[in-house]
Amino acid sequence: MSASGRESFPCYQVQRDEQGQVHGGVSQITRDQLPDGELLIEVQWSSLNYKDGLAALGHPGVARRLPHVPGIDAAGVIVESRNSQWQTGQSVVITGNELGAGQWGGWSRFIQVPANWAVALPEGLSARDAMIYGTAGFTAAQCLRHLIRAEVEPTAGPVLVTGATGGVGCLAVMLLKHLGYEVVASSGKSAAESWLTELGASQVVDRSEVLNSPEKPLASTRWAGVVDTVGGATLAAAIRATGINGCVTACGVVGGAELPLSVYPFILRGVTLAGVTSQNCPLPLRREIWKKLASEWSLPGLDRIANEVTLAEIGGEVSKILAGQIQGRTLVNVGADVA
């Protein structure tokens, strides 16, 4: 299938009406409405992330201009290329960069993007599974890479994962368990305890237990490493309780952007705080991580964490992810028929 400038195709578009209200829904657009790009890609699968939820509400920090098409993840097939390094028929995955934020994203049957945004879909990884991972799994894998580089071995002790029922959190639990780590999952959802245990957590604790540490520069050591998806006071408490030469990875701000902390964990215990950027991750590292997710870090049973929806159904999931009510990953079947 291809898209000419006159053929219409479906997307989920966010627009402002005459009364100034922001609305989102499936609409038909044509190729000449897409942003310019060297690659025209027919999207098969996308996903729903917290950032997409903000874009779907027209948040100016994400959707800089309206109308806008959210979707920071996309996997599909190149149907036209103006770059000699890419050929039609190649399967690709795109996460981060400006997709779904500064530029229209993956909630569209077709997208046009710069060639250096694309990563060849590695052998052994389907487009569907790539989008179950999506930015969430890509972020979790970056966190794991930081722990390994900091020489936090599975024998060093438990690794804490905060916000464990979210996309990054649950995939971090699975990846860490897959590589032999003892995982402690933190969540505010008591009903998810058995699910997190099935994914690989040896212990599930309430998020209040992580926060319930003395207001001192240092707390008793509990963690050899941390994957924090929350930020704020939760991140600070986790750092204070991390042991000698431990590593704490930070990739979220839903709990706040401030870090109420002293330098003592860093200068007395040698704790490393590793920030994780998925949007601005360099292309060589992107390729490396996707290859690992297709090989030695490949996870069985990804469908256990995936809920599949169509473009027509995605709007109903937006409020849920912004309210923290989604467990696991929401997969968007862009290729499904849309009424």
The region of weakest confidence among 31-40, 147-156, 204-213 is 204-213
d(C-alpha 1, C-alpha 244), whole Å: 56
For residue 339, what pLDDT is reported? Answer: 46
The pair of three-digit structure tokens given for residue 43, joined into one six-digit string: 């999207």
3-class state of residue 112 by DSSP: strand
| Mean pLDDT value across the chain | 94
For residue 163, what pLDDT is reported? Answer: 96
67 preceded by cis ω (within 30°)?
A: yes
Q: At a CB cut-off of 8 Å and minimum separation 6, what does 156 contact? A: 224, 225, 243, 246
- What are the φ and ψ backbone dihedral angles of 263, each rounded to 5 degrees? -85, -5
d(C-alpha 286, C-alpha 279), whole Å: 10
Stretch 212-241: mean pLDDT, rounded?
92
The pair of three-digit structure tokens given for residue 304, joined into one six-digit string: 């256990």
Q: Where are the domains of the chain?
A: 8-121+302-333, 135-275
For residue 190, what pLDDT is reported? Answer: 87
pLDDT tier, 336 (very low <50, low <70, confident <90, very high otherwise):
confident
The pair of three-digit structure tokens given for residue 136, joined into one six-digit string: 């969430």
The two most distant CA atoms of the chain are separated, in Å, by 65
pLDDT tier, 5 (very low <50, low <70, confident <90, very high otherwise):
low
- Per the CB < 8 A criterion, the answer to whether 130 and 197 are in contact is no
pLDDT of 131-157, one tens digit each?
A: 999 999 999 999 999 999 999 999 999
Q: Which numeric CATH code is attached to 8-121+302-333? A: 3.90.180.10
pLDDT of 89-139, one tens digit each?
A: 999 999 999 999 989 999 999 999 999 999 999 999 999 999 999 999 999
d(C-alpha 66, C-alpha 102), whole Å: 11
Stretch 231-244: mean pLDDT, rounded?
96
d(C-alpha 232, C-alpha 258), whole Å: 5
Nearest to 46 by CA among 325, 306, 339, 320: 306
Nearest to 120 by CA among 286, 276, 278: 286
pLDDT at 213 over 70: no
pLDDT at 1 over 80: no
**Which helix (H) or strand (E) covers residue 28, if one does?**
strand 22-30
Q: Which numeric CATH code is attached to 135-275? A: 3.40.50.720
Against a cut of 0.85, is the pTM above it? yes
pLDDT of 72-85, one tens digit each?
A: 999 999 999 999 99
Q: At a CB cut-off of 8 Å and minimum separation 6, what does 116 contact? A: 283
The pair of three-digit structure tokens given for residue 249, joined into one six-digit string: 């990875």
